Chain A
Amino acid sequence: MKKSNWIKKIYLDKGAENEPLSRRILDKLPGIPVELLEDIEKIKLELRLNPDPVAESKKIILLTKQKSFLRPCPCSPGAISCGYWTIDLDLNCPLDCSYCILQSYFDHQPMTISINRESLKSELDTFFENKKNRILRVGTGELGDSLALDNLTENSIFLAGLFRGKENFFLELKTKTDNIEQLLKIKALPNVIIAWSLNTERIIETEEKGTANLENRLRAALQVINHGYRVAFHFDPIIYYQGWEQEYQEIIKKLFKLIPLEKIAWISLGTLRFPAAFVKILRRRFPNNEIYSQEFIKSWEGKYRYPRPLRTRIYLEMKRMIAEFKAENKIYLCMESALVWRDFLAENKRGKLTSAFPFPWLS
């Protein structure tokens, strides 16, 4: 995603044309048709008429203003929350992972870049003030990849500036790319964590179209570490298939061979899950995909997941592999039930389990 040759057209929303960020982005994209937008319905219709609206939505950029950016991560109702907060500056993602639920989450939403990000400052000031006695994590990788468009937006530099001196608040930039150029232009901050989603080479190859390969992700992680940042890793979604243990073991070995343990802020684990509405899109867009032919149950909140005994087995196995490198105390589970958490923690934790955060090693 370092090059911008995937962009077919840019729409400029009313009122966005004179914003400095719009100008900067347009300057970086010479030769790409630009149209002033009267009504978002025009783009939605254009996408609806395309044989693959999801793929098409990733080729169209909309520069627009958003009302607000900061919100608590909704997690999964009934799951143990990790207390995450999200900043949604970009909506939609140019990467095309087969398992990405954004495919069904957005209703014909183009790649949307918020050009009024300056107003995030006041939102964050209130947030920092209201939550000043807490340790919290805030990230931008929820409705898009944090760094996929960073060469255009330089959001990483902008956001890092907002978190400077706010030691209790961690900014996490989560990516599957190796777009770290902007991050290397600024001084690393202790509370800015650069995170990579990791998966086996087989899964990256078959399911994560447009992303950096494993080696490049790990190399990029090492580069930001050398620059002074700390990093995090997300094994999410962990996908169950014949031979998964060996292949995940291989990535874990590669990871710890390259990345110093003390530079890792946290590691999350989450097994494949998806809402029912997503299945239709998946079957249309990836008819030969095999990862959804495994055993799934409809869980408490209506999402499909592997059966609980299998999920627990996967988490415990991953924990065992990570423990070989003495990093098991950095793990948390993403969107999991209390029961799975308890089995995962075994006898280590007593009492009522309501939140996975703050992680003990951060306080």
Chain B
Amino acid sequence: MKLRIIKKEEINLQDKRFLFTLKKPSEKLIRTIKEVGLVEPIQVIKRGGHFTVVSGWKRLAAALVSGLGKLPVLELPESLSDRQVLKMVFLTVCSAGQLSLAEKSLLIRRFSELGLKPAKIITEIMPWLELPPDRPTFELLLRLSKNEEILEEIHTRDWKLGTAEIFLNFSDEERKEILNLISGISHSQQKEIIEWLYILKKRLKKDVAAILAEPEISCLLNLPDKRSLKVADQLISILKKKVSPLVEQIGEQVKKEIKKMNLPPQVKVNFDSTLERPDLKVSFEVSSKEELQKIISGLNLSLTEESWELIFTLLRGKKSEEI
């Protein structure tokens, strides 16, 4: 390896054969490079008369933003094959920390583009990436890597394999629609929205646009802060009600009846939201006999209401046919 100083023009920035990381340089890194220059050299290799970046994309981006014209580089021997180089970088990056799912998918694509056989990628590369070493996962990641417009979102929100897999089941058009809907919200919210839309699409035999055009959803999506976490939660709640109408409606009626009874504020009434168990858990905390007396008489009074009977009937599922 040779340490050299080269001009930025000598680097072919379009050649991304070894690029699989998606991290952007932080403001701090840019500031540091502006102050002291690039201390840690970028690894490069000669390919076709130019230098191709092997590793150090983040530093390079920061250096270019900082306006550096000359860059310190470590030049790898030209005799190394692309596959050897990629394997070297991948092992270095893997030992330094976790890659996101999007980065893993890009890495698999890079190996594939360099002609490494799927069997080799599955048995030698995927275990390193802590991915299930099987062909279906390999193919899924390859598909994912080709959807460049979503890789950044997947990377930023740290999607898991399951979410990405469902997402790829939507059509191109629907994917765009969903991406527009979910960008900027948390991963768990994204996951729920994608999952619920997937189920509803199948159950209602409607495409995503038609589901989102339903009045209660579309009015939500027309709000100025439609990308806020609060609106996302409201959307999830609407979708959940559509996905689980029976459980959600019974649950809502139970909550309504509990509220209607106006129980003493210290009393908490909980129930199994899946409705598998029909029991109610009534609990309270007291710090004096008087307080206890007050709560008991409040509860006693509530027994005259019809709500308790209705709650138990609902929890036993006796009214489910009406829903």
Residues in chain A within 8 A of chain B (CB atoms): 45, 48-53, 280, 283-284, 287, 290, 292-300, 307-310, 312-313, 337, 339, 343
Chain A residues with CB under 8 Å of B136's CB are: 51-53, 284
Complex Cα distance, B127 from A48, in Å, reads: 13
B162 at the interface (CB under 8 A from A): yes
Complex Cα distance, B200 from A297, in Å, reads: 15
Complex Cα distance, B119 from A32, in Å, reads: 25
B54 at the interface (CB under 8 A from A): no
Q: Are B247 and A48 in contact (CB under 8 A)?
A: no
Complex Cα distance, B249 from A307, in Å, reads: 12
Chain A residues with CB under 8 Å of B320's CB are: 307, 309-310, 313
Q: Are A312 and B135 in contact (CB under 8 A)?
A: no
Task: List which B185-221 residues lie within 8 A (CB) of chain A.
Answer: 199-200, 202-203
Interface size class on chain B is 20 to 34
Task: List which B154-171 residues lie within 8 A (CB) of chain A.
Answer: 162, 165-166, 169
B266 at the interface (CB under 8 A from A): no
Complex Cα distance, B136 from A24, in Å, reads: 36
Q: Are A45 and B274 in contact (CB under 8 A)?
A: no
Chain B residues with CB under 8 Å of A52's CB are: 136
B297 at the interface (CB under 8 A from A): no
Complex Cα distance, B317 from A18, in Å, reads: 60
Q: Are B118 and A295 in contact (CB under 8 A)?
A: no
Complex Cα distance, B203 from A283, in Å, reads: 14
B29-37, B64-72, B238-246: which lies at the interface:
B238-246
Q: Are B278 and A280 in contact (CB under 8 A)?
A: no
B210: min CB distance to chain A, Å? 15
Q: Are A294 and B203 in contact (CB under 8 A)?
A: yes
Q: Are A297 and B244 in contact (CB under 8 A)?
A: yes
Q: Are B277 and A297 in contact (CB under 8 A)?
A: no
Complex Cα distance, B318 from A299, in Å, reads: 19
Would you mind naming 18 contact pairs between A and B with Cβ atoms under 8 Å apart? Answer: A48-B134, A49-B122, A50-B135, A53-B135, A280-B162, A284-B140, A287-B169, A293-B203, A294-B203, A296-B244, A297-B274, A297-B276, A307-B244, A307-B274, A307-B275, A309-B275, A313-B320, A313-B321
* Contact mask for chain B residues 273-300; partner A; CB cutoff 8 A; 1 contact, 0 none: 0111110000000000000000000000
Contact of A299 among B119, B276, B278 (CB under 8 A): B276
Q: Are A293 and B202 in contact (CB under 8 A)?
A: yes
B133 at the interface (CB under 8 A from A): yes
B206: min CB distance to chain A, Å? 12
The chain B residue with its CB closest to the CB of A45 is B123
Complex Cα distance, B318 from A161, in Å, reads: 49
Q: Are B134 and A53 in contact (CB under 8 A)?
A: yes
Contact of B133 among A48, A283, A284, A292 (CB under 8 A): A48
Chain A residues with CB under 8 Å of B200's CB are: 293
B172 at the interface (CB under 8 A from A): no
Q: Are A295 and B244 in contact (CB under 8 A)?
A: yes
B237: min CB distance to chain A, Å? 16
Contact of A293 among B162, B166, B199 (CB under 8 A): B199
Complex Cα distance, B275 from A297, in Å, reads: 9
**CB contacts between A and B, total, < 8 Å:** 82
B139 at the interface (CB under 8 A from A): yes
Chain A residues with CB under 8 Å of B122's CB are: 48-49
B178 at the interface (CB under 8 A from A): no
Q: Are A295 and B247 in contact (CB under 8 A)?
A: yes
Complex Cα distance, B243 from A300, in Å, reads: 20
Chain A residues with CB under 8 Å of B243's CB are: 295
Q: Are B276 and A300 in contact (CB under 8 A)?
A: yes
B250 at the interface (CB under 8 A from A): yes
CB-CB nearest 10 A-B residue pairs: A309-B317, A309-B320, A293-B202, A293-B203, A297-B274, A48-B134, A307-B247, A293-B199, A295-B244, A307-B246
Task: List which B112-154 residues lie within 8 A (CB) of chain A.
Answer: 118-119, 122-123, 133-136, 139-140
Complex Cα distance, B134 from A308, in Å, reads: 37
Complex Cα distance, B200 from A300, in Å, reads: 25
Chain A residues with CB under 8 Å of B165's CB are: 280, 283-284
The chain A residue with its CB closest to the CB of B279 is A339
Among B119, B135, B276, chain A packs the most CB atoms within 10 A around the CB of B276
Chain B residues with CB under 8 Å of A313's CB are: 317, 320-321
Q: Are B169 and A283 in contact (CB under 8 A)?
A: yes
Among A52, A296, A309, chain B packs the most CB atoms within 10 A around the CB of A309
Q: Are B202 and A290 in contact (CB under 8 A)?
A: yes
The chain B residue with its CB closest to the CB of A298 is B274
Complex Cα distance, B241 from A359, in Å, reads: 41
Among A49, A50, A284, chain B packs the most CB atoms within 10 A around the CB of A49
The chain A residue with its CB closest to the CB of B323 is A309
Q: Are B247 and A312 in contact (CB under 8 A)?
A: no
Chain A residues with CB under 8 Å of B139's CB are: 51
Complex Cα distance, B34 from A64, in Å, reads: 68
Complex Cα distance, B246 from A292, in Å, reads: 16
Complex Cα distance, B277 from A284, in Å, reads: 33
